[in-house]
Each structure stands twice: as structure tokens, then as C-alpha cells.
Amino acid sequence: MEYKVTLLPGDGIGPEVVAAGAEVLRAVGEKFGHKFEMSEALVGGIAIDETGNPLPEETLEMCRSGDAVLLGAVGGPKWSDPLAPVRPEQGLLGLRKGLGLFANIRPVKLFPALADASPLKPEIVQGVDLVIVRELTGGIYFGKPQEKQVTPDGKREALDTMRYNEDEVARLLHVAYQIARQRRRKVTSVDKANVLASSRLWREVAHEVAAQYPDVESEDVLVDACAMYLMRRPAGFDVIAAGNLFGDILSDEASMLAGSMGMLPSASLGEKPADGGTWFGMYEPVHGSAPDIAGKGIANPLATILSVAMMLRTSFGLAEEADAVERAVEQVLVDGYRTPDIMSEGMKQVGTAEMTGAVVKRI
Ligand code: IPM
Ligand code: MG
């Protein structure tokens, strides 16, 4: 089979980690006899610099014509002036919306070899294996109005709108339940129903969807309590379903359970095709552009490499190939290779290229 993958390196360490992901894809292609045709396009700050637009139409077109997207990261201090007319993040939000990627899947799994890399006590993080399913194209990130204005008495004010309709909530929860059925069969739906109307609708719909999955255990947890439980008993979670804002915040928090953000992959998916064909998705590391270490060759490529594994399994149905990539990552960790973000005493410190090479050798 031939698969078309669009590479969007973006900003900061994005180009370094996407190059690593592309190298792994090539290695998988050679080993298993697939062809991954890769082409590159602009998004984020670099797209602003070169075209004035964080998401050029050409980029969206290229993504649409392919089978999957591998994205690095967007943003950086160069483009973060709050008064700037365009921002790199608009490129990422535009991609999600423009490609209909409403479900963001963020697995958080502790590799046993990294148990000491987490800032939390080993007995707390032991056995952590959860998935955050975050709604990605609605809620307060997209609700209108969103604006800054001056009131009649001359004060500046700004507002955002948190809006969800029942279909947006239901389709996200169905994804969460389907994932739970392939795991430990538990879904935690997160909201702030004690305060927000949009959360009360979320909970109402969550219960309707839950009733369709009697084989899966369901619970509701308020977002503030969820933040606390993630620190107190993280191993008790299986699938966490949350709206756009809550999922964004909880997934950064949860990343610390795995030792480093440099380890966490993600998939952003749209509707699953009924015919079992390619399931279009965008795959990206959770860590962001890390401008402080960009260009130094020390970024951890493993989150991107694990994102490639998710792409192989989810979009292309290549489970054996995905397993091979994940096993190779596990093995480099067991063999002691560490980028600086996960370095600990007695281990071999390496940079991006050496880490990638070590993974490729083990595929
Ligand atoms: C993420 C990031 C993005 C988000 C930013 C870069 C817009 O934090 O993917 O979690 O808020 O969704
Ligand atoms: Mg985030």
C-alpha cells in the first residue's frame, strides 16, 4: 500500500522532531514493504513569516489530499505579542476545524524505565495508563462572540463564549466509549456542572451516551476534583472525556505522570469511515515548540515517534508496524538512552539524532 503523509514541521523544535518521525516512517516502510509518500507544508509562525497567514490555503489543501498529517509544533516568543494581528496558534486551531478533527486522543502511559523521571512519587505513578479524549473543535476555543471591546465608560473588556450543542458532546463521548471498550472499560466524564450551563448539558448528554454502553463503567467528575485525583490516584483512571478547555489543561497536568511531556503522543481524529478505509488523522507530540531548546539538537523525539505509531495503527490499520515502533521505543529506554529532559544518573545522554537512530535500529 501507498500512504500519503503531510508533514507540518512548524516552529521551535517542530522541524527537528518531525524529521525524526519521518525517518522512522521511512524505516517502517523499508522493513514492512510500505510506501509512505511525504510532502511538507507551512503552518504556524514560519507560515506567518513567509506568507502572512498562519494557515495558508495551500497547506489545508495538501492536508486534505493526503491520508494523515504529522505535525511538529507551532508558536514561540517571536509571535507572541498579545497585540499581534495574527498568531501561530490560529494555524493549529484552523487545521483542527478545517479538517473536522473533533476528537483529540492523548494517551498517558508510564514506561517502567522512566518511573523515576516523574516529579511524583513512584508509588503514585506506578501503573498509570490512561487516555484523555479531548473535544477539539468546539467549546470556548471556538465559541462566538470572542472579542475585546471598550465599554461606554471607557474600560477595556474581553469575552469568550463557552458553547456546546448536544451533537458535539455526544460524538466525542462515543469516541471515548469506543476506546474504553478496547481497554479497561471505564469512562470518566469531566465537567463543571455545578457552575456552568454548558457543563450541565455535557453531563446530561454524557448520561444518555453512557446508557448505550452498559458494559462500560461511567462516572462524572468535576474538573477541579479531577485535577486533584490525577495527582492522588492517577492509576485509577482509564478513559477521561473532557471538553476543549478542560482537556487542554488536564492533559498538560497528566503529562507529568509519564515523566516528561517529551514522551506524549497524540492523535486528532474526525469521523471514522464506515467502510473500514483510511481514517484521516493528524498526529502530533503534546509538548509544543519549546523555543528555549530549538535548534540545539537535544529535543526528545520520542513523543513524535510514538505519534507515528498511533498514525500507523489508527489511520492505516498497521497494528504490527505500530507495535514494532512502540517496542523499539521501550527498548531504547531499557537500554539507557536518554535525552536531557528524561536524563537520570547512570544513563546515556543523547541528542535527537542519536535517539532517533537508536529507535530505527531496533525496529
Ligand atoms: C495543545 C496546545 C494548543 C491548544 C495551543 C498551542 C493552541 O496547548 O495542543 O494542547 O491549546 O490546544
Ligand atoms: Mg495544551
Query: Which tens digits make up the pLDDT trace of 167-176?
Result: 999 999 999 9
Assigned domain for 114 exists: no
Catalytic residue among 3, 11, 67, 141: 141
Residue 12 has pLDDT above 90, yes or no: yes
Q: DSSP letter at 287? A: S
Q: Is residue 82 domain-shared with residue 129, that is, in the same domain?
A: no
60: which 3 cell numbers? 489545508
Q: Is 3 a catalytic residue?
A: no
CA of 248 to the centre of ligand 1 (A): 7
Residue 118 has pLDDT above 90, yes or no: no
CA of 320 to the centre of ligand 2 (A): 30
Which of 233, 258, 283 is a domain's end point?
Answer: 258
Using H for helix, E for strand and C for coil, what is the string for 319-358? HHHHHHHHHHHHHHHHCCEECHHHCCCCCEECCHHHHHHH
Give the number of domains in the chain.
2
Closest ligand 1 atom, residue 96 Cα: 12
Assigned domain for 111 exists: no
The pick from 43, 133, 137, 248 for probing ligand 1's pocket by mutation, whose C-beta has the most ligand atoms within 8 angstroms, reads: 248
Catalytic residue among 116, 167, 224, 292: 224
Concatenating the DSSP letter of every residue in 78-147 gives GG--TT-S--HHHHHHHHHHHTT--EEEEEEE--GGGGGGSSS-HHHHTT-EEEEEEE-SSGGGTEEEEE
Q: Is residue 247 domain-shared with residue 136, that is, in the same domain?
A: yes
CATH code for the domain in which residue 22 is found? 3.40.718.10
Assigned domain for 215 exists: yes
Residue 355 has pLDDT above 90, yes or no: yes
Q: Indicate the pLDDT class of residue 77, thresholds 50, 70 and 90.
A: very high
Give the ligand with the smallest distance to the CA of 104: 1
The C-alpha angle with vertex 21 and arms to 240 and 26, in degrees rounded to 5, equals: 130
What's the pTM value of the predicted model, to 2 decimals?
Answer: 0.95
Q: Is residue 129 domain-shared with residue 254, that is, in the same domain?
A: yes
State whether the beta carbon of 168 lies less than 6 angstroms from ligand 1.
no
Of residues 38, 12, 58, the one with CA closest to residue 283 = 38
Q: Indicate the pLDDT class of residue 275, thresholds 50, 70 and 90.
A: confident
The C-alpha angle with vertex 291 and arms to 287 and 293, in degrees rounded to 5, equals: 90
State whether the beta carbon of 354 lies less than 6 angstroms from ligand 1.
no
Assigned domain for 237 exists: yes
pLDDT attached to residue 116: 82
Q: Is 272 a catalytic residue?
A: no
Q: Is residue 91 domain-shared with residue 170, that is, in the same domain?
A: no
To the nearest whole percent, how much of the chain has pLDDT over 90? 93
pLDDT attached to residue 261: 85
Which of 231, 258, 285 is a domain's end point?
Answer: 258
Which of 209, 226, 258 is a domain's end point?
Answer: 258
Of residues 126, 101, 60, the one with CA closest to residue 281 = 101
Q: Is residue 147 domain-shared with residue 237, that is, in the same domain?
A: yes
For range 53-73, the mean pLDDT: 98
Q: Is residue 89 domain-shared with residue 208, that is, in the same domain?
A: no
Q: Is residue 141 domain-shared with residue 166, that is, in the same domain?
A: yes
Of residues 61, 67, 81, the one with CA closest to residue 1 = 67
Of residues 230, 231, 229, 236, the one with CA closest to residue 186 = 236
Render pLDDT for 88-117 as a digit per residue (tens, 0 to 9): 999 999 999 999 999 999 999 999 899 888
State whether the beta carbon of 11 lies less than 6 angstroms from ligand 1.
no
Give the C-alpha separation, 1 to 318, whole Å. Answer: 11
For range 147-172, the mean pLDDT: 97
Structural domain harbouring 54: 1-101+272-363
Render pLDDT for 283-300 as a digit per residue (tens, 0 to 9): 999 999 999 999 999 999
Counting Cα atoms < 13 Å in the Cβ hemisphere of 219 gives 13
pLDDT attached to residue 259: 81
Of residues 140, 159, 135, 137, the one with CA closest to residue 149 = 159
Q: Is 252 a catalytic residue?
A: yes
Amino acid type, 258 = A
Q: Which long-range contacts (CB under 8 A, 24 or more apart) does 350-358 make?
A: 351/296, 351/297, 351/298, 352/16, 352/17, 352/20, 352/297, 352/298, 352/299, 352/300, 352/301, 353/20, 353/297, 355/20, 355/300, 355/301, 355/302, 356/20, 356/23, 356/24, 356/301, 356/305, 358/332
pLDDT attached to residue 1: 82
